[in-house]
Amino acid sequence: MAISSETGRPEVAFPETPDADAGPPRQKSLTIGAVCKSLIQEFPEISISKIRYLEDQKLLAPRRTQGGYRLYTQDDVQRLRTILRLQRDEFLPLRVIRQELAGGRSESEVGTADGRPVRRAMMTVQGPGSLYSLGDVLEDTGADPKLVHELVEFGVIKGETRSGVRYFDETEREIIRSVNELAKYGVGGRNLRVFRTSADREAALLQSILAPALRSRNPERRKEAVEALENLASVTTHLKHLLLIRDLRKIAK
Amino acid sequence: MAISSETGRPEVAFPETPDADAGPPRQKSLTIGAVCKSLIQEFPEISISKIRYLEDQKLLAPRRTQGGYRLYTQDDVQRLRTILRLQRDEFLPLRVIRQELAGGRSESEVGTADGRPVRRAMMTVQGPGSLYSLGDVLEDTGADPKLVHELVEFGVIKGETRSGVRYFDETEREIIRSVNELAKYGVGGRNLRVFRTSADREAALLQSILAPALRSRNPERRKEAVEALENLASVTTHLKHLLLIRDLRKIAK
DNA sequence: CTGACCCTCAAGCTGAGCTTGACCCTATGA
DNA sequence: TCATAGGGTCAAGCTCAGCTTGAGGGTCAG
């Protein structure tokens, strides 16, 4: 409801209404100047032109007003913060940051001063996690409602209907984000089938391997099996990525 | 005995005598050309002028012969290797590398041994990258030679035969590592087909999408296309992982 | 309707990280 | 002993990432 349509026109133009609805702190969009001010504490080197430059380099994609002004949601700002931190603290070149962010290295995982670990939130097989309304998801991901509808229809995601309203979990939200990203490159519609069926096939494979343990009466064993499942998922994902890279190299000649 | 004194004058000038004395492999000093050759496997981009440049930047300080020739001990070479790895895999600028090395971050703790880093290497579609012999790979990954043989036979990896010896690149090495990991869980043999074909299918998809740009005469456009390829690879990998997680959740109940 | 703010686009700047070339010296073995 | 392959210095130059600047012009809230 907050966002009217694909044109990126917010109903309430500027600093969005601090609407008194749902719990989570609502998204107030900021102009580029405001964003700059809000970050100058942590990053004294920042500048408006730099933020624009980062957008030019495909690291950001804020919505726009009808007039062409950039509007940054809190998520956009968080992403920007992440970018700046990766640049400052890890010396990563923008090209690499772009990829890190494209693959799901998300905001929260960088800031928190830790050393290595990088635990991926929605990568876990366990637990429910938080739920997001369609509006939340659209705002978060910048996706077209039609796209979400399509995904639901194709059974890629299904959400969870609660008192008539459909909610999505983090994984689903990230799926939407990724699909939206792919759409920009012209990957969409039935191409997604390729991914779905390969995921299904793979899940079946892993299940068949761990089936005995998963069906076990012993909760200890079941827990182990679930963990194994997570590990296997990571490894196979990595392997598939490597195989893909290998193939792509041939293509790129 | 091998090295005479602080003046940097070696008793036996050039490639030092392979002296048959004390147990530990004695310090054979290498000339800059020899060093370069010995590293070109792992770092194809290296050059004599670059090594000299690094010295200029105070990252190295090899001894010299009376005549002014640089002489590198094994330790020097190891240090150089470390520098190059920090540069390639962690993207550290030389200024930072200098500090890291000054404050005891030692050779051993960066390389192949440990867990994470190794970022770029096999993630990029570009470039030749370093090469590893079968022995290197087996040592690195702890895999069974038979396994490697199998992978080569199945055409999953093929290596690069150079003067009769087969070498593998980083991607292939990591593929081997992953497959070996999977083998521990009992995933192997023809199960790998699933992964291979899905990677192939996906590569074909991406290729078809970017084909025009990739075939373009304009090098500018081609570069963009290759970058897009890398981004797409990241995104699709992420997406597939998410889909897999989604499936696995159902399985795990 | 004005003043602060924002937009694009092309050109320019800066520093890191090498490379090149001119010119000369060193080590080694035939 | 001297040919020749390999090294050495130094200054200049090149490339690329990552911004900045400036000209010219539109947008938005009060």
Contact B125 A238 (CB under 8 A): no
Count residue pairs from A and B with Cβ separation < 8 A: 215
pLDDT digits (tens, 9 = 90+) for A18-48: 443 333 445 689 999 999 999 999 999 999 9
Contact B251 A236 (CB under 8 A): no
Chain B CB contacts of A212 under 8 Å are none
pLDDT digits (tens, 9 = 90+) for A145-198: 999 998 988 888 888 888 889 999 888 999 999 998 898 888 887 888 889 999
Average pLDDT over residues A1-24: 37
pLDDT at position B223, please? 80
Distance from A12 to chain B by nearest Cα, in Å?
Answer: 33
Contact A235 B181 (CB under 8 A): yes
Chain B CB contacts of A213 under 8 Å are none
Higher pLDDT, A69 or A153: A69
CA of B227 to C1' of D22 (A): 31
pLDDT digits (tens, 9 = 90+) for B149-202: 989 988 889 888 877 889 898 889 999 999 999 998 888 878 888 899 999 999
Q: Please tell me which of the candidates A99, A229, A239 has its beta carbon nearest to residue B252.
A: A229
| DSSP secondary structure of chain B | --B--TT--BSS-SS------SSS-----B-HHHHHHHHTTT-TT--HHHHHHHHHTTS---EE-TT--EEB-HHHHHHHHHHHHHHHHH---HHHHHHHHHTT--GGGTSSSSSS---SGGG-SSS---EEEHHHHHHHH---HHHHHHHHHTTS---EEETTEEEEEHHHHHHHHHHHHHHHTT--TTHHHHHHHHHHHHHHHHHHHHHHHHH-S-HHHHHHHHHHHHHHHHHHHHHHHHHHHHHHHHHH-
pLDDT digits (tens, 9 = 90+) for B229-248: 888 999 999 999 999 999 99
pLDDT at position A222, please? 84
Q: Comparing C-alpha atoms, which of B204, B228, B214, B197 is closest to residue A186?
A: B228
Distance from B99 to chain A by nearest Cα, in Å?
Answer: 14
pLDDT digits (tens, 9 = 90+) for A188-237: 878 888 899 999 999 999 999 888 888 888 888 888 888 888 889 989 99
Average pLDDT over residues B86-106: 88
